[in-house]
Amino acid sequence: MVCHIENLRHIFQKGVNSVQPLSLFTQSKIINKINSDVITINNNKIDLTNKKCHLVGFGKAVLGMAVQVERVLGKNLKTGILSIPVGVQDTFKNNQNMQLKNDSVIKIYEGAKNNLPDEKSLKAAKEIFSLASSMSSDDILFVLVSGGGSALLPLPIEPLQLNSKLEIIRKLSNAGATIEELNTVRICMSKTKGGKLAMAAKNSNSIYSFVISDIIGDPIDLIASGPTVQYKTSKNQLSAKSILEQFNIWNSLSEDVKLIFENKSKNEMNDIFPKNSHVFIIGSNRIAVKACESACKELSYIPFLLSTSIKGNVESVCEKYINFLQNLVLFKQNSLSSEKFKKLFLDDFQYSENFHELIVSTKNLSPFLLILAGEPSVKITGNGLGGRNQELALRISLELYKNNILHNIFVLCAGTDGIDGPTSAAGAIGNVEVIEDYLKDNKKTIKDIENVYIQNNDSFNFYKNLRNGKYHINIGHTGTNVMDLHLVAIDWSSKS
């Protein structure tokens, strides 16, 4: 019998491996060494003679990124500062692709435990800002940016203090604000975000930013809150003040903090934004998705990409997934017309004639592997321990259990950074067996799952305590981050 759970783990790991810094720099060939004083960036030759190179970085993936850039720059690299999550160096102490040179000039700060700004990340941010501000026409600044960068580069505008800024972001996050909404507010509160770090380095010869995207659509102005990208607001984009009002936070702010959000001077910098700031995205979830597709074929699954832009509250995402899967199975069983299936498909995902033909032509012995990517959010209603991927997997498991025609479906929901919320897990498996194993203890009920674990946001402990964590995805810090992957295996050969 096919072990779909282990196959899903393997496919997910292949996706994660594809977006490791070494793989990304090798694939993109964004920066290369010609000789000791000449490099290429995006195929453009740059002579480093009489130039001093400096490197700063912030995010979950920047240690590995810094290793690659350091190897190219060699003796031309004069100084460097990295702000990375707590524990990263220890995690990768035996990984050569994550080791800086023994005599490296790069100083490393570890902070932002559980992706929350702290005094250590604040100190790193101050030093990074100071280094950027010291640039002259002889200096070239390299900036490495990845997911988690916002928490690792906190430098609040006075009189806002770090704890006050953190409380505002915490309230927004707990209320289910999107990453776009969170970063819009962060930019308004920060001295570095929204292009302000590039503004600080405006006297440099040039600024080169290498970015690994962790936001849907790869908006460079929002990844880590766009510290080296000219910040512009669109006509349809809510202001930071409007977002705070929408989530009922505005009235709780002090008058001096309100002035920060009402100050329109941040838009004046658009006229003088440095033209020497160049930004390159070298990694995104599209790369991970392609790797998953390749791994599927090696394991005889028929892969199909449904979406790379999954977002919204996990409750609504779960409902969307279950609705789609139910209609897919009904269509496959000839219990739903093509016209109705197409309409239902359009309600949730972009319709594809290729997918339609795939369903019709696929024999029942060939399992499907649907691939989705993005980053849902969780509205906190309890005081448990969990994360969006574990909660989504648990919610899906419960719905699969309740629906007899969906018992042949296996789901993996996990974060490519290896961390789901403030937990040690990357995510979890969703399947009817998850619920069946839980209910083997006759004292436990479906109501327990709904009230104790889902409503209390305690999915981590549900999975941790079930079959010794059999259904947990535990891979530790991965050294990268391109949002979440959701893999859905459908075994047509199984009897529903």
Mean pLDDT over residues 57-76, rounded? Answer: 97
Phi, psi of 90 (to 5 degrees): -70, -40
Residue 1, pLDDT > 50, answer no
Q: Give the tokens for residue 314.
A: 């996990």
389: left (phi over 0), alpha (psi -120 to 50) or beta: alpha
Distance CA 400, CA 152 (A): 39
194: left (phi over 0), alpha (psi -120 to 50) or beta: left
Domain made up of 20-283: CATH architecture: 3-Layer(aba) Sandwich (3.40)
Distance CA 464, CA 453 (A): 12
Identify whether the C-beta of residue 64 lies closer than 8 Å to the C-beta of residue 21: yes
Closest CA to 418 of 479, 487, 488: 479
Q: Where in the chain is the domain with CATH 3.40.1480.10?
A: 286-490
Domain made up of 286-490: CATH architecture: 3-Layer(aba) Sandwich (3.40)
Identify whether the C-beta of residue 85 lies closer than 8 Å to the C-beta of residue 113: yes
Top pLDDT among 211 and 259 is at: 211
Phi, psi of 422 (to 5 degrees): -85, 45
CA angle 125, 127, 131 (to 5 degrees): 115
User: Residue 201: what pLDDT?
Assistant: 97
Residue 270, pLDDT > 60, answer no
Q: What percent of the chain has pLDDT over 70?
A: 96
User: Residue 358: what pLDDT?
Assistant: 82
pTM (2 d.p.)? 0.90
User: Residue 189: what pLDDT?
Assistant: 93
Identify whether the C-beta of residue 315 lies closer than 8 Å to the C-beta of residue 38: no
Q: Where in the chain is the domain with CATH 3.40.50.10180?
A: 20-283
Rounded to a whole number of angstroms, the CA Rg of the chain reads 24
CB atoms within 10 A of CB 267: 12
Task: Find where tokens 């394991």 sit.
Answer: 299
The alpha-helical segments, DSSP class H, found in 416-479 are: 432-439, 446-448, 459-465
Sort strands 52-58 and 139-145 into parallel, antiparallel or unpaired.
parallel
Q: What is the pLDDT of residues 436-478, one digit of tens each?
A: 999 998 889 999 999 999 999 999 999 999 999 999 999 999 9
What is the torsional sign of CA 456, 386, 82, 172?
negative
Distance CA 181, CA 192 (A): 17
Q: What is the pLDDT of residues 155-168, one digit of tens each?
A: 999 889 999 998 99
Mean pLDDT of the chain: 92
Q: Which of 96-110, 133-147, 339-353, 359-373 has the lowest mean pLDDT?
A: 339-353
User: Residue 495: what pLDDT?
Assistant: 56
Q: What is the pLDDT of residues 325-377, one digit of tens each?
A: 999 999 988 898 888 888 877 777 877 788 888 888 877 678 999 999 999 99
Using the 8-state DSSP alphabet, how is residue 407 labeled?
T
Mean pLDDT over residues 34-57, rounded? Answer: 97
Instruction: Tell me whether the omega of the peptide bond preceding residue 159 falls within 30 degrees of 0, making it cis.
Output: yes
Identify whether the C-beta of residue 282 lies closer than 8 Å to the C-beta of residue 28: yes
Distance CA 392, CA 462 (A): 12
Top pLDDT among 76 and 268 is at: 76
The half-sphere exposure of 461 on its side-chain side, counting CA atoms within 13 A, is 11
Distance CA 147, CA 60 (A): 6
Mean pLDDT over residues 197-214, rounded? Answer: 97
Q: Write the CA distances from 317 to 52, 54, 86, 328, 349, integer angstroms.
A: 49, 43, 31, 16, 12
Q: Write the CA distances from 395 to 146, 182, 385, 420, integer angstroms.
A: 29, 25, 15, 15
Residue 83, pLDDT > 50, answer yes
User: Residue 26: what pLDDT?
Assistant: 95
Q: What is the pLDDT of residues 213-229, one digit of tens each?
A: 999 999 898 898 899 99
- Residue 2's pLDDT band, with cuts at 50, 70 and 90, is low
Q: What is the DSSP string of 158-216?
A: TT--HHHHHHHHHHHHHTT--HHHHHHHHHHHBSSTTTHHHHHTTTSSEEEEEEE--ST
